[in-house]
Amino acid sequence: AQKVTQAQTEISVVEKEDVTLDCVYETRDTTYYLFWYKQPPSGELVFLIRRNSFDEQNEISGRYSWNFQKSTSSFNFTITASQVVDSAVYFCALTYNYGQNFVFGPGTRLSVLP
């Protein structure tokens, strides 16, 4: 069975601090896809990043960076120099098939204080 764990329920930081959101996943599939989504108060899920199981290259995109490590089944997400607008619930998700069958983690609520 597939499972996604986000151990951090809530995180509060002060603006301009760096923050890392943890994600640990479980799957027996050799091919799978990992995602991070952001859910602001408006409700829609905003796509941030996708990685497949064959691409462990970590990347930086503006203030966002990702650390994918298959050896520890982790897919962590870091926001550098956080801003108030980053306040949202962040979800890590896993899928393996063409059915869009995402398995979501429970989410981490990030509050960035001014």
Partner 1 sequence: KAGVTQTPRYLIKTRGQQVTLSCSPISGHRSVSWYQQTPGQGLQFLFEYFSETQRNKGNFPGRFSGRQFSNSRSEMNVSTLELGDSALYLCASSSGGPTAGYTFGSGTRLTVV
Nearer to partner 1, 64 or 104 (CB): 104
Sign of CA dihedral 86, 46, 50, 23: positive
**Minimum distance from residue 89 beta carbon to partner 1 (Å):** 10
Q: What is the DSSP string of 71-94?
A: GGTEEEEEESS--GGG-EEEEEEE
Check residue 103 for interaction with partner 1 (CB under 8 A).
Answer: yes
Answer for the pair 30, 50: CB distance below 8 angstroms, yes or no: no
Strand partners, 57: none
**Binding-site residue total for partner 1 (CB under 8 A)?**
26
* Region from 20-28, 60-68, 72-80, 90-98 binding partner 1, contact rule CB under 8 A: 90-98
Check residue 45 for interaction with partner 1 (CB under 8 A).
Answer: yes
Nearer to partner 1, 82 or 108 (CB): 108
